[in-house]
């Protein structure tokens, strides 16, 4: 079994609400750059339908727009205990559904052994498909954070094919 088995990356967000789709944009930037054993999933805004994906991950990176009280375009990294999983804590700007997924995974004792949320503080959540300038400019920094986490987990080809 590959050392990469059990590593999953989930991009969540709504591509038609501008910066809310940043997680999916980041996921798409990773396509074809990682070992095939690392499973990528565009989770959109599907909420509880993501429970099986989360529960089957040993190590999970979640990519999303996050409301962290930072300046637009700031990259935020939450690790393990920092990741909000209670319904009362709004993890991202677009849904409580994913917080419910994390809560259920914890409740069922099928929570990933390591979880990291790499988020970007949004500027604009209006209807549209283009990322705002600060969020667009944050993509390289967010991709670098993803690469650093994957390297920490033993993935040596993060960001290159």
Whether pTM > 0.85 for this model: the answer is yes
**Rounded Cα gap, residues 125 and 15, in angstroms:** 10
pLDDT of 53 reads: 96
pLDDT of 118 reads: 96
- Bigger pLDDT: 96 or 83? 83
Average pLDDT, the chain: 88
Reported as a pLDDT band with limits 50, 70 and 90, residue 96 is: low
pLDDT of 161 reads: 39
pLDDT at 113 over 60: yes
Is the Cβ–Cβ distance between 160 and 50 less than 8 Å? no
pLDDT digits (tens, 9 = 90+) for 13-48: 999 999 999 999 999 999 999 999 999 999 988 878
Distances (CA, A) of 22 to 12, 19, 35, 46, 88: 8, 5, 22, 16, 23
Torsion, CA 147, CA 151, CA 154, CA 160, rounded to 10: 50
pLDDT at 70 over 60: yes
CATH code at 7-152: 3.40.50.1450
- Bigger pLDDT: 48 or 77? 77
pLDDT of 1 reads: 62
Is the Cβ–Cβ distance between 143 and 159 less than 8 Å? yes
- Bigger pLDDT: 88 or 92? 92
Domain boundaries, the chain: 7-152
DSSP state of 71: -
**Rounded Cα gap, residues 111 and 69, in angstroms:** 27
pLDDT at 3 over 80: no
- Name the token pair of 160: 């290159």
- Bigger pLDDT: 113 or 97? 113
């Amino acid at each position: 079994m590959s050392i990469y088995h059990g590593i999953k990356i989930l991009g969540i967000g709504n591509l038609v609400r501008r910066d809310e789709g940043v997680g999916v944009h980041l996921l798409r930037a990773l396509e074809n750059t990682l070992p095939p054993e690392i499973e990528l999933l565009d989770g959109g805004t599907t909420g509880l339908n993501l429970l099986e994906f989360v529960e089957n991950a040993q190590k999970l990176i979640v990519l999303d727009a996050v409301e962290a009280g930072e300046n637009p375009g700031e990259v935020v990294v939450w690790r393990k205990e920092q990741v909000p999983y209670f319904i009362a804590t709004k993890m991202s700007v677009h849904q409580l559904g994913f917080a419910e997924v994390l809560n259920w995974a914890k409740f069922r004792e099928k929570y990933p052994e390591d979880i990291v949320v790499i988020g970007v503080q949004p500027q604009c959540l209006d209807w549209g498909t283009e990322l705002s300038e600060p969020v667009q400019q944050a993509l390289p920094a967010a991709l670098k954070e993803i690469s650093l986490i994957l390297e920490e987990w033993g993935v040596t080809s993060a960001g290159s094919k």
